[in-house]
Amino acid sequence: MMKTRHLCAASVLLAFSPWLGGCSDTGGGLIASATDAPRTSIALRPGVRPSSVTVAFKSLDGAPPEVTSRFVPLLSTALASRDIVTADSGSANFIVQGHLSAYPAEGGVAVAWVWDVFDRKRFRRQRMDDAITVRGSPGNPWGAVDDQVLNSIAGLTAENLAGFLTNSPEAVAATGAAAGAAVAEAARPAALPARAQGFAPLD
């Protein structure tokens, strides 16, 4: 079994943890949803910001350590550019675990990734998966995964994650609460200026 490791780049924490090891475990682990979402691009919901909620990247497996160490800062940059805020797993609204793989394919090497997004109750709310084919030697698939490939994966991951977050009930509710507070603040009567104290001249 892979030992637990902690990798940190900017505000993204990727920890290889056995807590996320079993997606179908119903005895305290993560619980898979009844159906998986289709593999499509998730559009942003107008008027809702991804930063209305927070996410924690709990685990990433499948890739060699050298590839993972190059991917983490690229993912961190992609998340920040799309207004996604990360937090520790104890306070985040959503927890993300991922898997990267590279294998021989027609025309070169296929690089595939899967991200599962869980809520605080440990139910899977979204699966985001995709694959791209790049030029490379079938005998050394990971050798074809350069920074350009990893940057593309990071960008697509952040784009779909931002779409999911803005469409989540948690983000919609947080946006509504913030808007209500702003309206209440705007409706509050302005404080009257303090009257200068003094003595009127005697006639």
Question: What pLDDT is recorded for position 184?
Answer: 40
pLDDT surpasses 80 at 5: no
Give the tens place of pLDDT for each residue, 148-171. Answer: 999 999 999 999 999 999 999 999
Angle at CA of residue 132, ends 126 and 136, nearest 5°? 145
* Tokens read off for 2: 């892979």
pLDDT digits (tens, 9 = 90+) for 15-33: 444 333 333 333 334 444 4
> So what's the pLDDT on residue 178?
57
Closest among 6, 41, 30 to 157, alpha carbons compared: 41
Compute the distance between CA of residue 129 and CA of residue 114 in angstroms, rounded to an integer: 4
Task: Find, among 123, 125, 90, the residue nearest to 24 by Cα.
Answer: 123
Q: Where are the domains of the chain?
A: 6-33+48-174
Among the residue ranges 65-74, 141-150, 176-185, the one predicted with the least confidence is 176-185
Residue 61 pLDDT more than 90? yes
d(Cα 113, Cα 127) in Å, to the nearest integer?
10
**Conformational region of residue 12, where left means phi above 0, alpha means psi within -120 to 50, and beta covers everything else:** beta
Residues 151 and 153: their CA atoms lie apart, in Å, by 5
User: In this structure, which topology does domain 6-33+48-174 adopt according to CATH?
Assistant: Double Stranded RNA Binding Domain (3.30.160)
